[in-house]
Amino acid sequence: MVTNKSDFTRLPEAAGYDLIGDIHGCAHTLERLLQQMDYRKVNGVWQHPERKVIFLGDIVDRGPRIRESLELVYNMVQAGEAACIMGNHEHNAITYCTPAPEGFADDYLRSHNPRHTRLIKETLDQFEGAQDEWDTYLQWFKTLPLFLENEQFRVVHASWDDALIRTLQNEYQTDKLNYDLLIESVQPDSFGFRLMEHLTRGSHIRLPEGIQIHGGDGFTRRTFRTHFWAEKPETYGDVIFQPDNLPGNLEDRALSDQEKEALLYYPKDERPLFIGHYWCEGVPALVTPNIACLDYSAVKYGKLASYRFSGESQLDARNFVWISVDRDES
């Protein structure tokens, strides 16, 4: 007998949701943002009489107060005052810290190469001597949903891939990474790998042979990040979505048929979608009338941004709230 045990996350009931983008260890700024939105700390848990928070992932890495950030978010989620989805940095943390099963080339699911190690360095440094606490968070990360939705809106860290999401729901009866999918997620060409790439990292286009971008964050890349809301994109410039420009005249370069086919598209008449991940800069603005990105580079002295959603079918830029992050994030 086949028993399909489904495992779906429930959104906490609320009059409205305040969606908060990538925190990356900026706990003081997060407290200021919550305060500005009339949340108060009661018995150690930030809460609002009518509203709940949805965190868009990437709580960890890079910033100065990763433990405090995790404690705040974790306590809110445990108390039913917030929900949180998985970002690529939480996925990196899980795979970096989980020993590989036998037959793997590396000791851990994600190899401890310099690039992966650098990504998680601040987190592991700040949890030094607090292994039990870190293990608690790692276990929790494994339970985070990869997306959330109700009749009014949707939430995902990087890009909404409807086909992959429906496969996960229908065939795996979950909205999370189970153990098999976790193993798959580090094996290119598998469903689990594509799922995590698209949902938490977005889609990329490979740069022409010999060309690379030296990013403002110190990493060198041979691909660039693309978005999923151009209706009929023709050139690289029509789909690029990242702070670093393409070198030379590459923005004018025509997309090949293959590249066009690999791009995702989120229709303009779909319910509102909230994403993080993309290092936006400047004053928070809508990317389309039904998509808002809430990553405004808090950890790079940008802004920690929220969108206060109350069920509207067309988003309104006046519902953005943000705190500018200063040097010591105080």
| Residue list 32-91, contact with Mn ion (CB under 5 A) | 58, 87-88
Integer Cα distance of 178 and 172 in angstroms: 9
Instruction: Work out how close the CB of 89 gets to Mn ion at its nearest, in angstroms, rounded to a whole number.
Output: 6
Q: Which is nearer to Mn ion, 88 or 185 (CB)?
A: 88
Instruction: Work out how close the CB of 137 gets to Mn ion at its nearest, in angstroms, rounded to a whole number.
Output: 17
Q: What is the total count of residues that contact Mn ion (CB under 5 A)?
A: 4
Q: Which is nearer to Mn ion, 14 or 284 (CB)?
A: 284
Q: Which is nearer to Mn ion, 58 or 175 (CB)?
A: 58
Instruction: Work out how close the CB of 157 gets to Mn ion at its nearest, in angstroms, rounded to a whole number.
Output: 6
Strands 213-214 and 45-47 come out as unpaired
Q: Which is nearer to Mn ion, 87 or 284 (CB)?
A: 87
Centroid of chain to Cα 73: 14
| Residue list 265-284, contact with Mn ion (CB under 5 A) | 277
Q: What 3-state DSSP class applies to 184?
A: helix
Query: What tokens were used for 48?
Result: 């609002």
Q: Shortest CA distance to 145 belongs to which of 119, 194, 181?
A: 181
Residues 6+ apart with CB under 8 A from 260: 233
Instruction: Work out how close the CB of 293 gets to Mn ion at its nearest, in angstroms, rounded to a whole number.
Output: 11
Integer Cα distance of 174 and 146 in angstroms: 10
Q: Shortest CA distance to 65 belongs to which of 42, 35, 31?
A: 31
Q: How is the chain split among helix, strand and coil, in percent rounded to 5? A: 30, 20, 50
Instruction: Work out how close the CB of 56 gets to Mn ion at its nearest, in angstroms, rounded to a whole number.
Output: 9
Q: Which is nearer to Mn ion, 21 or 233 (CB)?
A: 21
Q: For Mn ion, which residue has the nearest CB?
A: 277
Instruction: Work out how close the CB of 44 gets to Mn ion at its nearest, in angstroms, rounded to a whole number.
Output: 28
Q: What is the Cα gyration radius of the chain? A: 19
Instruction: Work out how close the CB of 217 gets to Mn ion at its nearest, in angstroms, rounded to a whole number.
Output: 11
Q: Which is nearer to Mn ion, 57 or 233 (CB)?
A: 57
Instruction: Please give the biggest Cα pair distance in the chain.
Output: 61
DSSP track, 121-154: HHHHHHTTT-HHHHHHHHHHHTT--SEEE-SS-E
Q: Which is nearer to Mn ion, 18 or 58 (CB)?
A: 58
Residues lying near Mn ion in the complex (CB under 5 A) are found at 58, 87-88, 277
